[in-house]
Every structure is written in structure tokens, then in C-alpha cells.
């Protein structure tokens, strides 16, 4: 483990080909590669530019409300009777989750590149809403591609995007869900890569997106490390985050990867069981392959086709995962574990009723594992959880499906 941490200290990730060890890279048609190269060059040119960084830092502070606080959950910790649980409150950001961190970065980059429009796909609508918000603020048009099935299911987010001035483009082909929306958005992108920028919603996709989105999310880990040290005089013994594509996790993990005394846990959704189609535990049960233009652990069949995935948290059901997570798994630096639908729901109510914080059902997966870990670790130890978002978006669904079990 200590050797692997030394490796991480000397590795600058990704390398110039966008590789995190054997993972990452860029597996796309030639025409798209030219477009990606332009994004890489532009990002390389500005990522250390003090003017760009100041502009982003100002928006983070005055628009998003950064730094988000770190909160000591005394009630939950007391009830468990084990380690002390702390939350990094990304749920308190404007728009209610961590996604605004990278959407603002991508919007500013697009503006710098002279683009006039941001485009993206969205599944549950969370990425669409965050991107529509950033686009409006920065002064760019925004087209969000969304499957017709998802448009019906996620109506409040569709309305939010429209109020924010974005165009929601319905996708009626195939299964009319996320995968078809990705295909439609990529086709639209290739029709006009000069004026548009495709803004990916996590640390996934071809180079430069996994490294770039990670860089925009790093602020979470940098703040959390400083805040935790200031509050307790020590680093946390454990850091925990949920993993869908892996952006909120990479954000907080980045602050602690080279601290050997900090154990790090990524929590994947085991859904309703470990059979294919019942979960989205990519690192726990998948194997390396190529999907959506990058190499990583994937849930795939023998022919290399992505398997169906499921989680009660729509932000976590993706058959791939960011390539840096795959490397961190192989190095043994991060332990990838799981929480089920039922465990997440239980944690959703537990945190709501002990400390008055309703977590996003995605984030509740991290809370569920943190509770387990706190019991095992015992008194005197600490667990820092990235609370990636707030649960307002989930309350209708939770009450309809599980309200009775909790007296509602
Ligand atoms: C989208 C989302 C996630 C999952 O995305 P990652 O890239 O894995 O962080 C987690 N939590 C919330 C609140 C989300 O909206």
C-alpha cells in the first residue's frame, strides 16, 4: 500500500495520452478525435492560467456558495456509538449537488474556446439542470438530449431546464433512455463541433474529460482536507463517497490519495442483488473493456456489450466507471464496496431523522457504508463522507415506494 502511494505521488495523472495506467485513453472515430484534440489543447492552455482559475474560483465562491461546510454529525455518530461521522456538504451548493462544480468549469472553457452552445445528454436530468444553469450564467445556449421515457419520468427537471432557457431535445429512438440520448447528442455534436462543446457529466468518456472533470471537482477534496484538519487537528481515518461515473468521489479522494494514513472507500450500488441487471457495481463485479470511447472496468457480457444496470439511485446506474477509479482499484489505494437499495433507503431516513439532513439517494449509499464503517472502526476514529447532493429530488419516489415502512 505505501509503495502504491509513493507511485501516486510521482505519477502525474493522466499521462499525455490520457492514460491512468492501462485505463482511459481515447477510442473514437478519427473525425471526433480531431475535435477532442482541440479540447485537450485548449484545456492544457488554460488549466494553470491565473485569469481562468480566478474566474472559476470567483464563481465557485459567489455563485455556488463555496466553500461548502464540513459538518460533524454528532447525533448520528452518538446513535451508532462508534466512530465520528463528518459530512462534506456538497448538498448545500447552488443547484443542490456537486455537479455544478464541473459544469461551471466546462462552461467557462467553452466560452474561452469561442463556442456558443453547450450540449449534453441527461438521464434523470441532474446533469442537464446543472449544465443549463452554468450555460445561462456564462452566456451560452444549451441543448440537452433526453430520452422520451426519461422526459416523462423526470418531468420536474425537464421544466427546470426549460425555465433556465435550455432546449430539451426529445430522443425517440431505441429504448428512449440514456444510451440513446448519448448517441443522439454525439451525432448532433459532430454536425457542428465548431460552435458547440459537448460537456460530459462525470469523470468518464475519452481524454481529456476524465482528468478535466476531476480537476474541476478537486476543489471538494482540497477544501475538505483543510477544513477537517482545522476542525480536528488530524486527517480523517476514513473517507467515503458514492461512485456512479465517479466524479464526486474523485473530487474528495483527490485531497487524500497521497496520505497513507487515510483509508478511502468508493461505494457502488448493489441495487436489489448481484445478478446482472439488478445492480451497477462496476468495479466490484465488472472487468476491463472499452465503452463510450474509454477503457475502464465495465459491466459487460461475453461479447463486450454493456449489461443492463439498475439502482434505486438514477445517478449511479451506469455500466462503466471513470478510468482513474479502475487504476486506484488495481493499485489497492481505494477499496470499492457496495450498498444496496434497502441500505440506502434506511440511511436516507436515518440521516434525515438524526441530523435533519435529507440526502440524495445517491449520497445515501455513501452514508449507509459510513454507518457500517463507523460501527467497525469504533470510538475515537473518524469517517468523512462526501454528501454529494440533497434529497429533495427523491422525496416523491421514496414516499411512494417506502413511505409506509417509515410511518408516512
Ligand atoms: C449525478 C450524481 C451522482 C453520481 O455521479 P458521480 O459522477 O459518480 O459523482 C452522485 N450524487 C449525486 C447527488 C448526483 O446528482
Q: 99 CA distance to ligand 1 centroid (A)?
A: 7
Nearest Cα neighbor of 292 from 330, 248, 322 is 322
Q: How confident is the model over 258-273, as a mean pLDDT?
A: 98
Ligand 1 atom closest to Cα of 204? 7
pLDDT-derived band at 175 (thresholds 50, 70, 90) equals: confident
Span 13-42, pLDDT tens digits: 999 999 999 999 999 999 899 999 999 999
98 is catalytic: yes
- Alpha carbon 167 to chain centroid, angstroms: 23
Pairing of strands 70-72, 287-291: unpaired
- From 98, 102, 292, 365, the catalytic residue: 98
**Cis? peptide before 208, omega within 30° of 0:** yes
Spatial separation of the C-alpha atoms in residues 5 and 20, rounded to whole Å: 15
Identify the residue whose cell numbers are 474523485: 250
From 100, 202, 328, give the residue whose CB has the most ligand 1 atoms within 8 Å, as the site to mutate.
202
Asked whether residue 83 carries a pLDDT value surpassing 80, the answer given is yes
Whether 122 is in the pocket of ligand 1, judged by its Cβ within 6 Å, is no
Per residue in 283-316, pLDDT (tens digit) is 999 999 999 999 999 999 999 899 999 999 989 9
Q: One of 62, 72, 73, 242 is an active-site residue; which one?
A: 73
Which atom in ligand 1 lies closest to the alpha carbon of residue 217? 9
The string of pLDDT tens digits covering residues 353-393 is 999 999 999 999 999 999 999 999 999 999 999 999 999 99
Per the CB < 8 A criterion, the answer to whether 56 and 108 are in contact is yes
Distance CA 378, CA 334 (A): 21
Q: What mean pLDDT is predicted for residues 269-281?
A: 97
C-alpha cell at 282: 462496476
Q: Among 218, 242, 243, 280, which is best to mutate for testing ligand 1, by the most ligand atoms less than 8 A from CB?
A: 242
pLDDT of residue 7: 85
| pLDDT band for position 335 (cuts 50, 70, 90) | very high
User: Rounded to the nearest whole angstrom, what is the distance from the C-alpha of residue 225 to the centroid of ligand 1?
Assistant: 20
Q: If you take atom 14 of ligand 1, which residue's CA is the nearest one?
A: 315
pLDDT of residue 281: 98
Grid cell 480536528 is found at 232
Nearest CA to ligand 1 atom 3: 315
Is 94 a known active-site residue?
A: no
Q: In the chain, what is the greatest distance between 2 CA atoms, to the nearest angstrom?
A: 58
Which residues in 11-30 are b (16+ Cβ under 10 Å) and which e?
eebbeeebbbbebbbbebee
Q: Which atom of ligand 1 is nearest to the CA of 201?
A: 7
Is the CB–ligand 1 distance for residue 97 below 6 Å?
A: yes
Rounded to the nearest angstrom, the distance between the alpha carbon of 378 and the centre of ligand 1 is 29
Determine the pLDDT at residue 20. Answer: 97
Measured from the Cα of 244, ligand 1's closest atom is 8
C-beta 68 within 6 A of ligand 1: no
Q: Does the structure show a pLDDT above 80 at 1? A: no
> Which ligand 1 atom is at minimum distance from the Cα of 241?
9
Q: Is 359 touching ligand 1 by the criterion CB < 6 Å? A: no
Q: In angstroms, what is the span from residue 30 Cα to ligand 1's centroid?
A: 31
Q: What domains lie within the chain, and their CATH numbers?
A: 26-60+99-209 (3.40.50.1100), 66-96+214-406 (3.40.50.1100)
pLDDT tens across 116-132, in order?
Answer: 999 999 988 999 999 99
Give 212-238 pLDDT, tens digit per residue: 999 999 999 999 999 999 999 999 999
Closest CA to 93 of 201, 204, 200, 219: 219
Amino acid at each position: 500500500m505505501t509503495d502504491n502511494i509513493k507511485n501516486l505521488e510521482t505519477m502525474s495523472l493522466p499521462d499525455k495520452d490520457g492514460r491512468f495506467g492501462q485505463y482511459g485513453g481515447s477510442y473514437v472515430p478519427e473525425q471526433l478525435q480531431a475535435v477532442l484534440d482541440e479540447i485537450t489543447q485548449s484545456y492544457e492552455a488554460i488549466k494553470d492560467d491565473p485569469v481562468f482559475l480566478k474566474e472559476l474560483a470567483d464563481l465557485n465562491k459567489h455563485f455556488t456558495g463555496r466553500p461548502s461546510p464540513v459538518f460533524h454529525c454528532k447525533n448520528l455518530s452518538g446513535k451508532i456509538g462508534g466512530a465520528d461521522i463528518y459530512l462534506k456538504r456538497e448538498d448545500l451548493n447552488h443547484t443542490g449537488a456537486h455537479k455544478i462544480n464541473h459544469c461551471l468549469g466546462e462552461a467557462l472553457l467553452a466560452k474561452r474556446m469561442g463556442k456558443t452552445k453547450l450540449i449534453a445528454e441527461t438521464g434523470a436530468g441532474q446533469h442537464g439542470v446543472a449544465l443549463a444553469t452554468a450555460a445561462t450564467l456564462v452566456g451560452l445556449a444549451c441543448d440537452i438530449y433526453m430520452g422520451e421515457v426519461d422526459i416523462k419520468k423526470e418531468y420536474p427537471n425537464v421544466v427546470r431546464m426549460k425555465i433556465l432557457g435550455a432546449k430539451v431535445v426529445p430522443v425517440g429512438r431505441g429504448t428512449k433512455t440514456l444510451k440513446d440520448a448519448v448517441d443522439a447528442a454525439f451525432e448532433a455534436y459532430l454536425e457542428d463541433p465548431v460552435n458547440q462543446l459537448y460537456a460530459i457529466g462525470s469523470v468518464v468518456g475519452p481524454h481529456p474529460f476524465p482528468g478535466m472533470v476531476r480537476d474541476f471537482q478537486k476543489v471538494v477534496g482540497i477544501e475538505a482536507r483543510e477544513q477537517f484538519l482545522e476542525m480536528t487537528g488530524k486527517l480523517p481515518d476514513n473517507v467515503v463517497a458514492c461512485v456512479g461515473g465517479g466524479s464526486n468521489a474523485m473530487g474528495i479522494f483527490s485531497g487524500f490519495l497521497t496520505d497513507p494514513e487515510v483509508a478511502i472507500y468508493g461505494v457502488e450500488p448493489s441495487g436489489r442483488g448481484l445478478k446482472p441487471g439488478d445492480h451497477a457495481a462496476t468495479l466490484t463485479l465488472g472487468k476491463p473493456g472499452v465503452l463510450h470511447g474509454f477503457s475502464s472496468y465495465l459491466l459487460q457480457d461475453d461479447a463486450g456489450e454493456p449489461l443492463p444496470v439498475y439502482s434505486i439511485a438514477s445517478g449511479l446506474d451506469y455500466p462503466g466507471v471513470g478510468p482513474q477509479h479502475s487504476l486506484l482499484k488495481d493499485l489497492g489505494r481505494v477499496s470499492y464496496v457496495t450498498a444496496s437499495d434497502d441500505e440506502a433507503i434506511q440511511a436516507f431516513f436515518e440521516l434525515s431523522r438524526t441530523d435533519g439532513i435529507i440526502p440524495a439517494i445517491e449520497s445515501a449509499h455513501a452514508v449507509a457504508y459510513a454507518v457500517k464503517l463507523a460501527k467497525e472502526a469504533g470510538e475515537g476514529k473518524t469517517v468523512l463522507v462526501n454528501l454529494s447532493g440533497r434529497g429533495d429530488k427523491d422525496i416523491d419516489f421514496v414516499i411512494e415506494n417506502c413511505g409506509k415502512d417509515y410511518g408516512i
